[in-house]
Structure 1
Amino acid sequence: MSTSSRLLNGLKVGGAVVAFAAAAAPLHAQVSDEEQVAAANAAGIEEGGGEEILVTARRRAESLQDVPISVTSLDGETLEDQGAVDLTAVMQSTPNTTLQIARGSNSTLIGFIRGVGQQDPLWGFEPGVGLYLDDVYVARPQAAVLDIFDVERIEVLRGPQGTLYGRNTIGGAVKYVTRRLGNEFGGRVRAAYGTYDQIDLVGSITAPVSDTLSVGGAVAWLQRDGFGENLNTGNEHYDKNVLAARASIEFAPTSNLFFRLAGDWIRDRSNARHGHRVVGNAGLPDFEPPADEYDTRAGAGDPNEVETRGISLTAEWNVTDQVTLKSISAYRDGETEGNIDFDGTPQPILDIPAFYEDDQVSQEFQIVYEGDRLQGVAGVYYLDGHAAGAFDTVLGNAGLTIFTAGSVDTRSLAAFADFSYNLSDQWRVSLGGRYTDDRRRGTVLRQTFAGLRSPFFGNEAAVPVVLNTDYTNTRNDAEFTPRASISYLPTPDVTVYASYSRGYKSGGFDMRGDASLTPETVNGYDPETVDAYEIGLKAYALDRALYFSLAGFYSDYRDQQVTVQVPVGANVASFVNNAADSRIFGFEAEARANVTDNFSVSAMLGYINADFKRVITFDPVTQQEVDVSDIWDFQNTPEFSFAVSPTWRHDLGGAGTISFTPSVSYRSEYQQFEVPNALLDEDGYTLVDAALVWTSANERYQVSLVGRNLADERYRIGGYNFPGALFGNSIVAFYGPPRTVTLTGEVRF
C-alpha cells in the first residue's frame, strides 16, 4: 500500500468514528482539553500566577498540582517575550534536561532527561526522549528543533512515560502544543532584527468562516548570518535560513463535536555545520586551525537542506458529561541532504556526504472518563514508519570510501490505560499500563570503494574493493510498561506523592554496522528498560503567592544501548550493544513566587548522580568483550543545573506596561561521549540573558529588546573524535550560540 493510501485510510477510519458520533450524539457543551488548559493558564498569567496551571501530561486536562509526575510547563507567550529562539531554550529553565542541536546539524534535536536519551540521530536509532507535536509523536529527530512561534505552551515530562506516551519516552517526553484557533477573528504580525543580521518575520491569523468553522495559520521566515565563516569557501557558518508554516481548520458542527485538521511544513536551508577543530595537526604542513570557535576551513561542501511535512486530523466527541472519545490520525515525512566535514580542512581527509528520508503513519483512539471519583484514559495506538538513508565515509589519506546505505521499517501496536481513583478527599491512587509490540525489518549495505566518494554520491569511477555488510533481518520486541502512584493531600494546596514507572526503548539494527569487524551486528540489538521510583511534593503557600515542587528520583537502567564508533585500520567500526546497567538518582526543585503585584521570580535546581554499575563492550581489534566500568561515564548529563529569573513590571498608565526580566542559568561539567575526552568535554557554563518588554495599554502593540548569552560564553554542545594520522586527527567541537541582541515589534489585530 502506498504512503498516500495509508494516510487516506487512516483519516477515513478517524472520520468514520466521528461521523457515527455525529449521528448519535446528544447535545452537551463542547470544551476541548486544550481550550480548557489555554483559557485557565491565560487567566492565571493575567492574575499574577495565583490560579491553577493546567497541563495535559496524562492525556487529559488536570491541575499541575494534581499530576504525580515531574512536569515543567512553559507558556509560549512568555518564551517569546524572553527571546527563546527554539525548543532548545527550554532546557535553561528545566532541571536535569538537555535539549540541543545535534552535532553537525542545524535543526536535528538531541534530548536527554535525567541521564537517559540518545545522541546519535542516524536513521534506525530511536530517541530516548519523545517529542510530541499536538499529541502526534514525531519519530525522527531531523527538523525537530522547532522554532518558538504560534505555540501555546511546551510541557516537559521528566522520567519514563511508557504508559501513556509509549516505547521511546524512556527518559521523558516533550509536548509542543500549538495555539487553537477559537472562533474570534484576529492575528499577529511580528518582526525582529538582531545581531548577525538576524531578520525574523512571523505572521498568524484566525478567520471564522461561520459560528462552527474557523480557519487559520502561521508563517515564519527566520534568517540570520553565520556566527562564523567557512574560511575555505567564504560562506556563512552557523547561519540560519528557515521557512516554516502551519495551517489548521477547526470545525464544531454540534456543541459536543470538535474536529481539527492541521498541517505543518518546515524547510531548513542553513549551510552545513562542520564544527571547529580543537587540535592543529591535520597532517598538512600549511594548515592552521581557525582562531574563532565558530569558523571552519571545511572543504566537503556547504549546501544543506532539511524538509519535513506533517498532517493530522483530531476528532473529539463528548458522548456524555463524563465520557469523551478521541481520534488522532497523522502522517509525517521528511528528507535531509547535507555534508559533514569531520576533519575541518579543505582536503577530503574525513568527509561525510549524506542523505536521509523518513515517513510515518499513526493512528490513536482514546476514551477519556471524568467522573467524580474515577478519572482516566484508555486507548490503542498504531505506528507504521519507514526510515532510510545513505552516506559516504571518505578517507582521503587512504584513497578509500566506505559507502553505507540501509533502511528500517517499523510497525508498532500498543494498548494502554491509566486511571486515577479518589479514595477520599485526601487520598488518590493511580494505576496504568501499556503493552507494546514492535516489529522491525532492517536492511544494511556497507561497501568499500577505491576512490573518493562512491557512485551513489557522484563518483562513477570508484572501484568496489570489499563488501563489508549486506543483510536483511527482522526482529520482534514486546514489553509491558506499568505505572502506579499514590497521592496524599493534607490540605487542598499541598500534594505529596510516590510513584513507580517503567520505560522502554525498542531494539533495532545499526545502519552503520560493519559485519566484517562486528559479525553480531546482523542480529541487531535488544531493547533497554528503566524502572523509575519517585517521591514528590507540590504545594501553594503564602495565600497562593508561592508555588513550588520538589521531587527525588531513583532509576534502574538496564540493557542500556550504547553507540560506539572506533577507528580500526582504514575503517570505522560502528556497533550498538546492550553494554551497560546503571543506576541514576537525584532531585529537582522548581518554584515561582509573586512577591508583590509588580515583582515575581521563577527558579529551578536540579541534581543528578548517574553511574554505570556494569559496562561490557566489544573490542573490534581483539574481537573480545572487555569491562570498561571504571572508564566510562554518562554523556550529556551535568551533575547540577540551576536557573533563576526575576521579573519587574511597571504600569505606565495610559502608556501601557513595561517589564524587565534578567535570567541566569548554569550547567555544570559534562561529557560528550561515555569515554572522557579533555579536548571535547564541557567544563560547565553560565548563561546570562535579559529581556525588556513594553506592551501598550490595549495590548495590541508590543516592543521587546532581548539579549541572550550576554557574557558571550563559548560552550561546547557536541563533537566528533577520530584521532590518528589516517583520519587527520579529526577532533572537532560544536558550540552553542554566542552573544546576541534582538529588537522585536509585534502588532495584534
Structure 2
Amino acid sequence: MKRLKDAIHALMMLAFLAGLTGYAPAEAAQKNDEKPNYAISDLTVTSQKRTENIQEIPMSITSLTGEDLTDSGTVDLWDVTRMSPNVYLSNNAIENIIVIRGIAPFNMSLYPACGVYVDDIPMPLQHQHNPDLYDIKRVEILRGPQGTLYGRNSESGVINIVTRQPGNKLSGNLLGEIGFYDTGHGDIPLYRGQVNLNAPIIQDKLAFRIAGQWHASNGFMENTFSDTDDAARYDNKNLRGIFRWTPNENWDVSAILDGEKGDNGDGQYRYIKGPLKTPRHIINYNDSDGYWDREGSGQALRVKYDGPSFNFTSITGRRSFDTKYYQDLDLGPSPFGYSDMDYNTDSLNQEFRLASKEDGGPLKWLGGVFLFNEDSDANVNFAAYMQEHKADWTNEGAAMFGQLTYTLFEKLHLTGGLRLDYTKGSGNKTYTLMGRSNNFSQDFDNTELLPKVAVSYDATENIMPYASISRGYLSGGFAYATAQNKQSFVYDPEYSMNYEMGIKTNWFDNRLTANLALFRVNMTDRQIYQQVPGAAAIVRVVENAGEAHSQGVEFELRAKPAQGLEFSAGFGLIQAEVDEWKKKQANPLTGRTQLVDLSGKKLPNVPSYTFNIGAMYRHSTGFFGRVDLNGIGEIYNDAENTSDLKADAYELVNLALGYETELFTFTLWSKNLFDQEYYNRLNSWVGGGVIGIDGEPRSVGLTVTYRF
C-alpha cells in the first residue's frame, strides 16, 4: 500500500507539471479545433413538473449536471449537499437527516422533512436519503417548502435526481477506481467500479440502458478491542435497467427497474470526551459484530403523451426497502448489551398529470392527482434495558393539486397553486418491558391545504426579481421506537410557511449568472423527540411542542471568464432559533418534573453558514484540473445548545488533476486534501460521555474511465 501511495503522489505531481508546461500526447489534439464558447449553457430543470429554464423559475434552486458531478468526484447525496447553500446532510449508521433552511425532522423519525425523488418516484424513508449516484443526468435541489406540487414530507424542500435515459446511439463506459484512506492506523484501500451501456433495439422506437456501480472499503475506523479495521466498512452494489419505447413523436414510455444492496459496519461513533475517550478514527467496542445492512428494489412505469393542446403524464412506482441494524449499545468495552433494529417498507404510488403546452400563450397550467399506499413494520430491541418495540402500520392517502402562471404585458408573471392533501394511518404495536407486554392500536387521518403564490418580473432580458409564499408540512406518524402506550403512539404533523424574495441575473452575454435570495421560514407544531422526566435514558416520547423560525440569505454564482475555465460558488447564511418551547425535564435534586424555557436557542443540526467555491479548467490538449473548497459553520447538536455538543466550523479542500482523450479519462484526486478533522454528529451518551462520528480523513485515488 505504501508503494501505491507513493506512486499516486508521484503521478499527481507529474500531471501537475505536465499541465504547466502544456505537454500532451498527440492524440489529445482533437480538442484544438473546437470553436471557443464562453457562454454558460442554459440549465433546464423538471422539478416544477415541466421543462423550464432555471433562471425563469421564481425560486431558489441549485442544478448540478452529470458533468458537474463527475468533475467534482461526487459519489452520493452527501457530496451533493456540500454544493448547495443552506443545505446540510447529518448522517449516521441509520439516519440521513437532510437539513434545508434550518428545517429537519427529529432524531429517530422515519419520515424526512425533505423529499427525495428519483425519476419522479419518491424515496419515502430518510434511511434511503444518501443514495449512491451513478449514470446521473442531473440533480436539482429546491429550497423552501414544496407542498403544492409534492405534498407531505417536502416541508423544507425537494431533491430531484434525474437519471440518464436510453437513446438511439450505441454507447457506454467503464469506470475503475482505486484509492485509500490516510488514517493514523494505516492506509485503508477503497474501490469503485461502474458500468453503463446504452443500446438501441429498434432505431427511433425502442432502446435499453443498463447501469451499475460497486463501491467498497473497510472504512477508516479501527476497533482496538477486537483488533479489526473494518468497523465502518461499506460494500454497496446498485443496478438499474431502463426500457424506453417511443412509437411516434407523441408517445414516450419508460419502464425502470432498479435494485440496491449494502453491507455496512456500524462502528462509527467514538467517545470524544469522558473516561472512554479514544483517538480519532479509533473505537473500543467489546461487541465487534455490529452491522447496518440494507436492501431495496424499485419498479416504475412512466408514460408521456404530447397532445395537440395539452401534455399528459402518468407515473406508477413501487419501492421496497429493508434495513437491519445491530449495535454495541454502550459503544465501549463493557458487556453492557446491544440494540438491534429492523425496518421494512413497501410503497406504491400513482400520479396523473395534465399540463399546458410549452408554447400555449400567456397562461401556463398544470394539474394532477396523486395516490399512495405504504405498508411498514419495525422491530426495535434494546436488550440492555430489556425493552422491545414491535410495530406495523399502514399509511395511505390521496391528493389533488394544480398550479398556473399567467403573464401580463409579456413581463409580469403571476403564479398560484393549491394542493388538497389527505392522509390516513392505522398502526398496531406491542411494547415489551422485562417480559411483560402491552398491545395497543391507534388510527389517524389528516387533511391539509397547501397553497403557493409567486410573482416575478422581467425587468430586462437578463434580470428577474421575484417574491413567493409557500406552505409545507411534515406528516404525523407512529412513534414506533418509543411509545409505551396508546396515548403516546401517534404524533401530529408540523408545518412551515416560507417567505422568499430574490433576484436572478445573467451578465456579459451569459458568461456570468448570479442569483440572490432572502427568506424567512416560520415553523409551528414542531415534532419534538425528548426524554421522559425521571425515566431511564432510553424512554423517550414524540410530542408536538415547539415553534421556531429560520431566516437568511443564499447566493449562487457561475462564471466562464475564458475558454475552458469555469467558476462556481454558493454561500448560505442562516439564523435558526426556537421561538417557543418549554421542555420537560427532571430536577436533578428533587426528581420532580420542571419546565425549561429554550426560547432563543439555536435549532440543532443547522450550520450557521455554508459555502462552496469551485474552479474547473480544461486545456485544449486534454489536461484538466479542478479544486473545490467547501465550508460548514458551527453546529449545535442538541436543543439546549450545550458547549460539549457544539461542533466547530471547518473547511474541506478537494483536488483533481487529469487527462482525457476521446476514449479515456485518467483522474488523480484527493478529498479532504489537508486532512481536516471534523465531526458529522455529536451526542451525549450512556454514562455521561460525549460521542461523535468522525468525518472522513484524507483520501487519495486514481480513476480511469473508458468510453465507447
Measure the CA separation in 2 of the matches of 1:94 and 1:620: 40
Measure the CA separation in 2 of the matches of 1:46 and 1:413: 51
Deviation at 1:88, TM superposition (A): 0.6
- What residue is the counterpart of 1:65 in the other structure? 55
- What residue is the counterpart of 2:220 in the other structure? 227
Q: Deviations over 1:555-592 (max 9, x none)?
A: 11111112224584446221111111112111100001
- What residue is the counterpart of 1:302 in the other structure? 290
SS in 2 for 1:163: helix
Distance 1:305 1:515, change over 3 A: closer
Q: Deviations over 1:164-219 (max 9, x none)?
A: 11111000010111111111111110000111211111000011110211112111
Deviation at 1:126, TM superposition (A): 1.8
- What residue is the counterpart of 1:270 in the other structure? 264
SS in 1 for 2:652: strand
- What residue is the counterpart of 1:701 in the other structure? 664
- What residue is the counterpart of 2:306 in the other structure? 318
SS in 1 for 2:674: coil
Deviation at 1:318, TM superposition (A): 0.9
Q: Deviations over 1:450-480 (max 9, x none)?
A: xxxxxxxxxxxxxx1x44x531100111110
Equivalent of 1:745 in 701, 704, 707: 704
Deviation at 1:348, TM superposition (A): 3.7
Deviation at 1:235, TM superposition (A): 4.7
Measure the CA separation in 2 of the matches of 1:300 and 1:351: 11
Measure the CA separation in 2 of the matches of 1:374 and 1:702: 46
- What residue is the counterpart of 2:644 in the other structure? 679
Equivalent of 1:544 in 485, 490, 510: 510
Equivalent of 1:718 in 681, 692, 695: 681
Measure the CA separation in 1 of the matches of 2:216 and 2:672: 19
Q: Which amino acid is 2:553 matched to?
A: F
Deviation at 1:302, TM superposition (A): 2.6
Q: Which amino acid is 1:269 matched to?
A: D
2:694 corresponds to 1:735: yes
Q: Deviations over 1:348-389 (max 9, x none)?
A: 425211111111000000111121211132101011002211
- What residue is the counterpart of 2:613 in the other structure? 644
2:606 corresponds to 1:658: no
Measure the CA separation in 2 of the matches of 1:207 and 1:117: 42
- What residue is the counterpart of 2:21 in the other structure? none
Q: Which amino acid is 1:577 matched to?
A: E
Distance 1:414 1:596, change over 3 A: same
Kept in 2, the 8 Å contact 1:481–1:503? The answer is yes
- What residue is the counterpart of 2:81 in the other structure? 91
Equivalent of 1:411 in 396, 411, 421: 396
**Which structure 2 residues correspond to residues 419-434 of structure 1 after superposition, within 5 A?**
419-434=404-419
Q: Deviations over 1:581-638 (max 9, x none)?
A: 1121111000011111132211111111111111033447878572422474201211
Kept in 2, the 8 Å contact 1:104–1:734? The answer is no
SS in 2 for 1:237: coil
Q: Which amino acid is 1:692 matched to?
A: L
Measure the CA separation in 2 of the matches of 1:616 and 1:146: 37
Deviation at 1:705, TM superposition (A): 1.3
- What residue is the counterpart of 2:150 in the other structure? 165
Q: Deviations over 1:256-296 (max 9, x none)?
A: 11111001111000222341112343xxxxxx543233534
SS in 2 for 1:98: strand
SS in 2 for 1:500: strand
- What residue is the counterpart of 1:261 in the other structure? 255
2:242 corresponds to 1:248: yes
Measure the CA separation in 2 of the matches of 1:616 and 1:679: 22
Deviation at 1:680, TM superposition (A): 3.2
2:336 corresponds to 1:373: no
2:525 corresponds to 1:559: yes
Q: Deviations over 1:122-168 (max 9, x none)?
A: 4xx32100100110111012243111211111100000000011111
Q: TM-score, normalization: structure 2? A: 0.90
Measure the CA separation in 1 of the matches of 2:36 and 2:325: 45
- What residue is the counterpart of 2:138 in the other structure? 153
SS in 2 for 1:388: strand
Determine what percentage of the aligned residue pairs are the same residue.
Answer: 26
Distance 1:702 1:46, change over 3 A: farther
Distance 1:338 1:583, change over 3 A: closer
Deviation at 1:730, TM superposition (A): 5.0
- What residue is the counterpart of 1:31 in the other structure? none
Q: Which amino acid is 2:136 matched to?
A: V
SS in 1 for 2:416: strand
Kept in 2, the 8 Å contact 1:274–1:298? The answer is no
* RMSD across aligned positions (CA): 2.0
Distance 1:303 1:587, change over 3 A: closer
Measure the CA separation in 1 of the matches of 2:618 and 2:168: 31
- What residue is the counterpart of 1:389 in the other structure? 378
Measure the CA separation in 2 of the matches of 1:190 and 1:207: 18
Deviation at 1:303, TM superposition (A): 3.7
Equivalent of 1:215 in 188, 192, 208: 208
Measure the CA separation in 2 of the matches of 1:745 and 1:274: 30
Distance 1:693 1:192, change over 3 A: same
2:93 corresponds to 1:104: yes
Q: Which amino acid is 2:366 matched to?
A: V
SS in 2 for 1:513: coil
Measure the CA separation in 1 of the matches of 2:224 and 2:544: 42
2:430 corresponds to 1:448: no
Q: Which amino acid is 1:492 matched to?
A: E
SS in 1 for 2:67: helix
Measure the CA separation in 2 of the matches of 1:209 and 1:623: 73
Kept in 2, the 8 Å contact 1:440–1:474? The answer is yes
Kept in 2, the 8 Å contact 1:435–1:479? The answer is yes
Measure the CA separation in 2 of the matches of 1:567 and 1:736: 33
Deviation at 1:661, TM superposition (A): 1.2
Q: TM-score, normalization: structure 1? A: 0.85
Measure the CA separation in 2 of the matches of 1:571 and 1:662: 45
Kept in 2, the 8 Å contact 1:71–1:158? The answer is yes
Measure the CA separation in 1 of the matches of 2:513 and 2:194: 34
Measure the CA separation in 1 of the matches of 2:52 and 2:84: 20
Kept in 2, the 8 Å contact 1:274–1:344? The answer is no
Measure the CA separation in 1 of the matches of 2:231 and 2:280: 11
Structure 1 alignment gaps of length 5 or more: 1-44, 282-287, 450-463
SS in 2 for 1:117: coil
Kept in 2, the 8 Å contact 1:238–1:294? The answer is no
- What residue is the counterpart of 1:340 in the other structure? 327
2:462 corresponds to 1:493: yes
Q: Which amino acid is 2:60 matched to?
A: S
Q: Deviations over 1:317-375 (max 9, x none)?
A: 1121x411000001011111221224222334252111111110000001111212111
Distance 1:121 1:333, change over 3 A: farther
SS in 1 for 2:148: coil
Structure 2 alignment gaps of length 5 or more: 1-34, 181-187
Deviation at 1:739, TM superposition (A): 0.7
